[in-house]
Amino acid sequence: MYAPQTNIVRSDGKRAALLTVEKTGSTSTLTIIAQIKSILPKALHITPLSDQSVFVKSAVTGVVREALIAACLTALMILLFLGSWRATLIIAVTIPLSVLTSLIALSALGQTINIMTLGGLALAVGILVEEATVAIENITHHLERGEPLHDAIFNGSG
Protein backbone atom coordinates (compact mmCIF):
# COMPACT_ATOMS: atom_id res chain seq x y z
CA MET A 1 0.00 0.00 0.00
CA TYR A 2 1.16 3.54 -0.67
CA ALA A 3 1.57 6.11 2.10
CA PRO A 4 -0.97 8.96 2.13
CA GLN A 5 0.18 12.06 0.30
CA THR A 6 1.35 14.71 2.73
CA ASN A 7 2.73 17.31 0.35
CA ILE A 8 0.95 19.98 -1.64
CA VAL A 9 1.05 20.08 -5.43
CA ARG A 10 0.75 23.39 -7.24
CA SER A 11 0.62 24.12 -10.95
CA ASP A 12 0.92 27.76 -12.02
CA GLY A 13 0.31 28.75 -8.41
CA LYS A 14 -2.98 26.83 -8.17
CA ARG A 15 -3.62 23.69 -6.17
CA ALA A 16 -3.46 20.56 -8.27
CA ALA A 17 -3.37 16.80 -7.89
CA LEU A 18 -0.42 14.68 -8.87
CA LEU A 19 -1.19 11.26 -10.29
CA THR A 20 1.75 8.99 -11.01
CA VAL A 21 1.11 6.14 -13.44
CA GLU A 22 3.72 3.40 -13.48
CA LYS A 23 3.85 0.58 -15.98
CA THR A 24 3.91 -2.93 -14.60
CA GLY A 25 3.38 -6.21 -16.35
CA SER A 26 3.61 -6.91 -20.05
CA THR A 27 1.35 -4.18 -21.43
CA SER A 28 3.19 -1.70 -23.62
CA THR A 29 3.74 1.88 -22.55
CA LEU A 30 1.98 3.16 -25.68
CA THR A 31 -1.11 1.07 -24.92
CA ILE A 32 -1.28 2.28 -21.31
CA ILE A 33 -0.99 5.95 -22.31
CA ALA A 34 -3.61 5.54 -25.07
CA GLN A 35 -6.03 3.86 -22.66
CA ILE A 36 -5.54 6.54 -20.01
CA LYS A 37 -6.15 9.32 -22.52
CA SER A 38 -9.28 7.57 -23.86
CA ILE A 39 -11.00 7.05 -20.49
CA LEU A 40 -10.44 10.51 -19.02
CA PRO A 41 -13.33 12.96 -19.28
CA LYS A 42 -12.90 15.79 -21.78
CA ALA A 43 -13.55 18.43 -19.08
CA LEU A 44 -10.57 17.22 -17.02
CA HIS A 45 -7.47 19.27 -17.82
CA ILE A 46 -4.30 17.21 -17.53
CA THR A 47 -0.76 18.50 -17.88
CA PRO A 48 1.71 15.63 -18.18
CA LEU A 49 4.95 16.25 -16.31
CA SER A 50 6.77 13.26 -17.73
CA ASP A 51 5.48 11.06 -20.55
CA GLN A 52 7.60 8.04 -21.44
CA SER A 53 5.43 7.29 -24.47
CA VAL A 54 7.10 10.22 -26.25
CA PHE A 55 10.48 8.52 -25.77
CA VAL A 56 9.11 5.15 -26.88
CA LYS A 57 7.51 6.63 -30.03
CA SER A 58 10.74 8.46 -30.83
CA ALA A 59 12.80 5.29 -30.37
CA VAL A 60 10.49 3.23 -32.59
CA THR A 61 10.48 5.95 -35.26
CA GLY A 62 14.28 6.12 -35.14
CA VAL A 63 14.67 2.38 -35.46
CA VAL A 64 12.22 2.24 -38.38
CA ARG A 65 14.04 5.12 -40.13
CA GLU A 66 17.44 3.48 -39.61
CA ALA A 67 16.06 0.13 -40.81
CA LEU A 68 14.84 1.75 -44.03
CA ILE A 69 18.21 3.41 -44.57
CA ALA A 70 19.98 0.11 -43.89
CA ALA A 71 17.70 -1.75 -46.31
CA CYS A 72 18.36 0.82 -49.05
CA LEU A 73 22.11 0.75 -48.49
CA THR A 74 22.10 -3.05 -48.44
CA ALA A 75 20.17 -3.20 -51.70
CA LEU A 76 22.62 -0.71 -53.22
CA MET A 77 25.59 -2.78 -52.01
CA ILE A 78 24.13 -5.97 -53.47
CA LEU A 79 23.43 -4.21 -56.76
CA LEU A 80 26.94 -2.75 -56.95
CA PHE A 81 28.86 -5.88 -55.96
CA LEU A 82 26.77 -8.56 -57.65
CA GLY A 83 25.33 -6.41 -60.45
CA SER A 84 22.09 -8.36 -60.37
CA TRP A 85 18.64 -6.85 -60.08
CA ARG A 86 17.26 -10.29 -59.21
CA ALA A 87 19.60 -10.65 -56.23
CA THR A 88 18.83 -7.10 -55.13
CA LEU A 89 15.11 -7.77 -55.29
CA ILE A 90 15.48 -11.01 -53.32
CA ILE A 91 17.33 -9.23 -50.50
CA ALA A 92 14.98 -6.23 -50.58
CA VAL A 93 11.95 -8.53 -50.17
CA THR A 94 13.56 -10.89 -47.67
CA ILE A 95 14.41 -8.24 -45.08
CA PRO A 96 10.92 -6.75 -44.52
CA LEU A 97 9.30 -10.17 -44.83
CA SER A 98 11.51 -11.63 -42.10
CA VAL A 99 10.97 -8.61 -39.82
CA LEU A 100 7.19 -8.86 -40.35
CA THR A 101 7.30 -12.59 -39.57
CA SER A 102 9.29 -11.87 -36.41
CA LEU A 103 6.78 -9.24 -35.30
CA ILE A 104 3.91 -11.67 -35.89
CA ALA A 105 5.72 -14.32 -33.84
CA LEU A 106 6.39 -11.81 -31.03
CA SER A 107 2.72 -10.83 -31.03
CA ALA A 108 1.59 -14.47 -30.99
CA LEU A 109 3.84 -15.11 -27.99
CA GLY A 110 2.39 -12.10 -26.17
CA GLN A 111 5.61 -10.06 -26.32
CA THR A 112 5.67 -6.31 -26.79
CA ILE A 113 8.03 -4.26 -28.90
CA ASN A 114 10.63 -2.52 -26.79
CA ILE A 115 14.23 -1.41 -27.14
CA MET A 116 15.54 -4.93 -26.49
CA THR A 117 13.34 -6.59 -29.13
CA LEU A 118 14.11 -3.83 -31.64
CA GLY A 119 17.83 -4.26 -30.99
CA GLY A 120 17.48 -8.01 -31.45
CA LEU A 121 15.65 -7.50 -34.73
CA ALA A 122 18.39 -5.13 -35.90
CA LEU A 123 21.04 -7.76 -35.14
CA ALA A 124 18.98 -10.46 -36.84
CA VAL A 125 18.62 -8.31 -39.97
CA GLY A 126 22.40 -7.92 -40.12
CA ILE A 127 22.88 -11.67 -39.92
CA LEU A 128 20.11 -12.20 -42.48
CA VAL A 129 21.75 -9.82 -44.95
CA GLU A 130 25.12 -11.51 -44.51
CA GLU A 131 23.71 -15.00 -44.98
CA ALA A 132 21.56 -13.99 -47.94
CA THR A 133 24.52 -12.29 -49.62
CA VAL A 134 26.70 -15.37 -49.21
CA ALA A 135 23.92 -17.63 -50.51
CA ILE A 136 23.31 -15.42 -53.56
CA GLU A 137 27.04 -15.27 -54.31
CA ASN A 138 27.23 -19.08 -54.08
CA ILE A 139 24.21 -19.51 -56.34
CA THR A 140 25.69 -17.06 -58.85
CA HIS A 141 28.98 -18.97 -58.75
CA HIS A 142 27.21 -22.27 -59.47
CA LEU A 143 25.21 -20.67 -62.30
CA GLU A 144 28.44 -19.34 -63.85
CA ARG A 145 29.86 -22.88 -63.77
CA GLY A 146 26.97 -23.92 -66.02
CA GLU A 147 24.73 -25.72 -63.55
CA PRO A 148 20.96 -25.65 -64.16
CA LEU A 149 19.05 -23.09 -62.07
CA HIS A 150 17.45 -25.61 -59.72
CA ASP A 151 20.75 -27.40 -59.04
CA ALA A 152 22.61 -24.08 -58.60
CA ILE A 153 20.07 -22.92 -56.00
CA PHE A 154 20.18 -26.25 -54.18
CA ASN A 155 23.99 -26.46 -54.18
CA GLY A 156 24.60 -22.77 -53.53
CA SER A 157 22.36 -22.49 -50.52
CA GLY A 158 23.30 -25.79 -48.89
Domain boundaries, the chain: 54-156
Q: What does the pLDDT read at residue 1?
A: 67
Q: What does the pLDDT read at residue 11?
A: 84
Residues whose CB falls within 8 Å of the CB of residue 130, separated by 6 or more in sequence, listed in order = none
Give the DSSP H or E segment for 23: none
Q: Which pLDDT tens digits describe the chain residue by residue (158 residues)?
A: 677 767 888 888 888 888 888 887 777 788 888 888 888 888 888 888 888 888 888 877 887 787 778 778 878 887 887 777 887 887 778 888 888 888 899 889 888 777 788 788 878 888 887 888 788 888 888 989 999 989 998 888 87
Q: What does the pLDDT read at residue 148?
A: 92
Q: What is the CATH number of domain 54-156?
A: 1.20.1640.10
Contact predicate 97/121, CB 8 Å: no
Q: What does the pLDDT read at residue 44?
A: 83
Q: What does the pLDDT read at residue 146?
A: 93
Compute the distance between CA of residue 40 and CA of residue 45 in angstroms, rounded to an integer: 9
Q: What does the pLDDT read at residue 51?
A: 84
